[in-house]
Amino acid sequence: MSLSQTQIQEFNERGFIFLGRVIEKDRLADLQRRFDRLFAEKAGTVGQGFRNLAARSDAAEDQKVARQRMLQIINMWKFDPVYKELLYDRGLLDRVESLMGPNIQLFHDQSFYKPAHDGGIVSWHQDNGYWQCTPPTLVSIWIALDPATEENGCLLMLPGSHKIRYQHQKSSQAPILLEVDVQEKNLEPICLGPGEAVMHHCMTVHGSRQNQSARDRRGHAIHYMGAGTRGRDGRVLRDHLLLRGVLPPAEETPAATPQPEAAAASR
Ligand SMILES: O=C(O)CCC(=O)C(=O)O
């Protein structure tokens, strides 16, 4: 299902839009089961795409002693065929195509498990503050696998923030997360029902708070890029999965100037 002109306009103005329900009940139950199985398998391990973002760092000793849990599995699709199939979901890709055209690659996907009672935060950040892709036009679809509420640490977005390139600093959390100053009062809570989704621009400031409630908050994000997007080293990310359309021929993708990581990572 393509986006309407009104949705596209809203996305361009605010940097995100609510998509409503994108996953039907039976499929959702399957995704939840597979999510739980993978997180249970990886519990107590470190690495291979799994980590606790609430730990002080990615070092094994910090990961083991962390008091809170904001658990992440990067590249779920590599671990589970149903998550791989989801990458090619026609309804999701049609919406992405409305924003970035017919040639779409996967940047990566990831699942987030913020458990009841001790779920940790995700610092405010712009995704591309870390990814450093060119052009910075990637979009993400974040799908709720549980009700996502203010109590259990739903996503919060800063409307209009995708129009500004904020300076980031390394977070005191795992080094992969970046921090940016936000006026908290301007944040908009992204409350979703299970199977509902939000779509956001890679420059939209977002994050999430602790989960001290009695309900888990599970979510799954797919990050899409226009075919031919370049990574932080200026090279075209040719080896990423092509989800729809075609890759531009190599001769049509002249080298870009690498993004200066230090500039974006310092305040
Ligand atoms: O699930 C969260 O709380 C954070 C998700 C996030 O940062 C993202 O999908 O880009």
Nearest CA to ligand 1 atom 9: 221
Q: How far is the CA of 37 from the centre of ligand 1 (A)?
A: 20
Which atom of ligand 1 is closest in space to residue 110's alpha carbon?
A: 9
- Round to whole Å and give the CA distance between 212 and 206: 19
Interhelix angle 90-100/5-14, nearest 10 degrees: 70
* 211, two tokens: 């989960």
Q: How far is the CA of 169 from the centre of ligand 1 (A)?
A: 18
Q: How far is the CA of 246 from the centre of ligand 1 (A)?
A: 28
Q: How far is the CA of 122 from the centre of ligand 1 (A)?
A: 7
Identify the pLDDT of residue 81. Answer: 98
Instruction: Quote the domain boundaries for residue 230.
Output: 5-265
pLDDT tens track for 196-235: 999 999 999 999 999 999 999 999 999 999 999 999 999 9
Which atom of ligand 1 is closest in space to residue 206's alpha carbon?
A: 7
Nearest CA to ligand 1 atom 6: 207
Count CA atoms within 13 Å of residue 30 on its CB side.
11
Identify the pLDDT of residue 130. Answer: 87
Ligand 1 contacts (CB < 6 A) are: 112, 122, 127, 140, 142, 155, 206, 208, 219, 221
Number of domains, the chain: 1
Q: How far is the CA of 224 from the centre of ligand 1 (A)?
A: 14
What is the pLDDT averaged over residues 155-181? 78
Q: Is 182 left (phi over 0), alpha (psi -120 to 50) or beta?
A: beta
Q: Is the pLDDT of residue 122 over 70?
A: yes
Residue 202: φ, ψ to 5°: -70, -5
Q: Is the pLDDT of residue 253 over 80?
A: no
Q: How far is the CA of 249 from the centre of ligand 1 (A)?
A: 33
Which atom of ligand 1 is closest in space to residue 112's alpha carbon?
A: 1
What is the pLDDT averaged over residues 58-65? 81
Look up tokens 């409307």; give the residue: 159
pTM: 0.91
Identify the pLDDT of residue 206. Answer: 94
Q: Is the pLDDT of residue 239 over 80?
A: yes
Identify the pLDDT of residue 252. Answer: 60
CATH number at residue 74: 2.60.120.620
Calculated CA dihedral for residues 68, 70, 71, 74, nearest 10 degrees: -150
Q: For a ligand 1 pocket test, name from 72, 142, 149, 182 the mutation site with the most ligand atoms within 8 angstroms of its C-beta.
A: 142
Classify residue 220 by its DSSP letter.
E
The C-alpha angle with vertex 14 and arms to 12 and 17, in degrees rounded to 5, equals 85
Q: How far is the CA of 190 from the centre of ligand 1 (A)?
A: 11
Q: How many CB atoms lie within 10 A of CB 40?
A: 9
- Round to whole Å and give the CA distance between 68 and 10: 35
DSSP string covering 98-143, please?
HHH-S-EEEEEEEEEEE-TTTB--EEEE-HHHHH--BS---EEEEE
Q: Is the pLDDT of residue 263 over 80?
A: no
Specify whether the CB–CB gap between 182 and 122 falls below 8 A: no
- Round to whole Å and give the CA distance between 98 and 87: 16
Identify the pLDDT of residue 257. Answer: 54
Residue 20's contacts (CB-CB under 8 Å, 6 or more residues apart) are 196, 197
Averaged pLDDT score across all residues of the chain: 90
Q: Is the pLDDT of residue 160 over 80?
A: yes
